[in-house]
Structure 1
């Protein structure tokens, strides 16, 4: 029990340090390009023919704290984050926490649904392919997997939206049916939301599903060649039962370790999908923040993505330690 507690404490401490390092790197990188929000604002004024004076621009920089050195700006921002204040969006003129809070729920729901669908689809398909190596079904799923990896999800989104609207009169950009659009929260509204998110979640998770199938299939095939499996097969054990009882748990180690990378990939990958399908996630918000050089909003979103990455990795470590006690004893 003590080894388990020490393992968890070490991982938590490492997670905190990692989030801090990522916050510094992301904050600095966002401000590396020339110019700032005021420069972008001046460019907009120039396009409209209303150019502010030099004193106005200097006052704006002073009001937004852009006239201070970068390390001082980061210190103010980091201290605010520790108190739950992510700063003020220069572009929207609203608190960053409010802007992200309006969209983070939909973002996490879409990403977690895509992750769950990826696991639900990849696990049985990979087991089937490993148990039926070289059959037409194996080749079919291998081809489907390569297509899923190679096909950009935004192109698939366009195709699905066209087919749905052209032949089935379906609008995949809506997250609620008309009768639930203005209705108060309820079980029916929640189920309706999940139903509407099913299509974008499948689109978003297709490439992840294809990669997971390939990883788990390869791991299972490697385990099936080991002596203990050959011995069990020689004793007459059915192939499917043999896979489920022995090698599957061992093969799940690399499968589980991908959670830390998969979740943030789904969140960041939803940017283009959300733009194409007009979904209210943080993806379009991050894109606009980067274009406008809204450093506080962009830093806040990137900090959340980094936290998701670290939390996903932590979950992966804990699951791996549960699956294989040797990991937590050696860590």
Structure 2
């Protein structure tokens, strides 16, 4: 297990290095360099450019040096100083923007993931064990609706219901009077009152897909010889299902834990725009459309790094729950 962990950490470092190269290439894709983009935007807005400030920025990001030196400057600034560069669109440090948006994105991702599993796994087990029952047909219908209906349509429908029938303001995660208020019990309750809508909308499609895939995996396992043997030993049906086939059917989901956050970012951009959520999805969309190079490259780099770390954790979780994988690692 220790050797496996060392090998995975080594491959993770190599993957992060390659990801940093791709993110840097994204920064370099627009014509000209960072300063030419800044100057062009300022001039279009009728603002003057301070030559001394341009010289300082050019030295800060080594823009007068070869691409290899620029890459090393960018990476070393991130690793040593947490400096991801400057966002010309927002005229703020990228690290500051990420500090405001990324925690909410991760929080929504974790909450959506946990609630989705808490709903989807029992539903998938029931749907597989009670195959072709009335409950199975109901869960299947709900799952297909969650997969088929676009998330932004669901967001619009629930936002209307929330505002029309419950009188709750839509847009963002706080009512206007709590946006700038200090944290207290009222602000926490207001957050909970607004949080259910994005979690429901973001998680509905994932829950539907999880129910369908988990049901199919579990149906494949329920009649295999090891399950029949467990039943012949006199174990209760509930214990047989929970101890053996469910653990095996979980493997595909645990192996994809690392994809949860990037999948959320990719799927929540339009939903976040509809609901007014201050997450990294709309920020990345704005950065790409406005060629805000350092902001776009930094978000892509961080999300990719989180994917790599999440994949490592999912591999370790698989090894912990599946003895076949542990045997493969130790041999």
Measured against the shorter chain, the TM-score band is 0.7 to 0.9
* Rounded Cα–Cα distance in structure 2 between residues aligned with 1:230 and 1:312: 35
**Which structure 2 residues correspond to residues 33-182 of structure 1 after superposition, within 5 A?**
33-34=30-31, 38-39=36-37, 42=40, 45-46=43-44, 50=46, 62=58, 66=63, 68-83=65-80, 84-177=82-175, 180-182=178-180
- Aligned pair in 2 of structure 1 residues 213, 35: CA closer, same or farther (>3 Å)? farther
* Rounded Cα–Cα distance in structure 2 between residues aligned with 1:123 and 1:248: 9
1:23 is aligned, of 16, 20, 26, to 20
- Aligned pair in 2 of structure 1 residues 231, 321: CA closer, same or farther (>3 Å)? closer
Q: CA deviation at 1:238?
A: 5.3
Preserved contact between residue 42 and residue 51 of structure 1 (Cα < 8 Å): no
- Aligned pair in 2 of structure 1 residues 276, 266: CA closer, same or farther (>3 Å)? same
Are positions 1:225 and 2:223 aligned together? yes
Preserved contact between residue 156 and residue 203 of structure 1 (Cα < 8 Å): yes
Q: CA deviation at 1:28?
A: 1.0
1:210 is aligned, of 205, 208, 221, to 208
- Aligned pair in 2 of structure 1 residues 68, 148: CA closer, same or farther (>3 Å)? farther
The equivalent residue for 2:10 is 13
Preserved contact between residue 7 and residue 328 of structure 1 (Cα < 8 Å): no
* Rounded Cα–Cα distance in structure 1 between residues aligned with 2:58 and 2:79: 24
The equivalent residue for 1:325 is 323
Preserved contact between residue 131 and residue 239 of structure 1 (Cα < 8 Å): no
Preserved contact between residue 176 and residue 192 of structure 1 (Cα < 8 Å): yes
Which moved further from structure 2: 197-206 or 139-148? 139-148
TM-superposition CA deviations, 1:266-293 (whole Å, max 9, x none):
1332222211111111122211211221
The equivalent residue for 1:256 is 254
Preserved contact between residue 148 and residue 207 of structure 1 (Cα < 8 Å): yes
- Long gaps (5+) in structure 2: none
- Aligned pair in 2 of structure 1 residues 91, 174: CA closer, same or farther (>3 Å)? closer
Q: CA deviation at 1:219?
A: 1.1
Question: What SS does the corresponding residue of 1:171 show, helix, strand or coil?
Answer: coil
* Rounded Cα–Cα distance in structure 1 between residues aligned with 2:174 and 2:37: 39
Q: How many pairs are equivalent?
A: 324
Tell me the C-alpha RMSD between the 2 structures.
2.9
1:309 is aligned, of 307, 310, 317, to 307
Query: Deviation above 6 Å: which 4+ runs of structure 1?
Result: 58-61
Q: TM-score, normalised by structure 2?
A: 0.86
Q: TM-score, normalised by structure 1?
A: 0.86
TM-superposition CA deviations, 1:3-50 (whole Å, max 9, x none):
x3222222222222212211211321343354565358637845x6x5
Q: CA deviation at 1:123?
A: 0.6
- Aligned pair in 2 of structure 1 residues 85, 329: CA closer, same or farther (>3 Å)? farther
Preserved contact between residue 171 and residue 277 of structure 2 (Cα < 8 Å): yes
Q: CA deviation at 1:229?
A: 2.3
- Aligned pair in 2 of structure 1 residues 97, 202: CA closer, same or farther (>3 Å)? same
Preserved contact between residue 89 and residue 96 of structure 1 (Cα < 8 Å): yes
Preserved contact between residue 172 and residue 278 of structure 2 (Cα < 8 Å): no
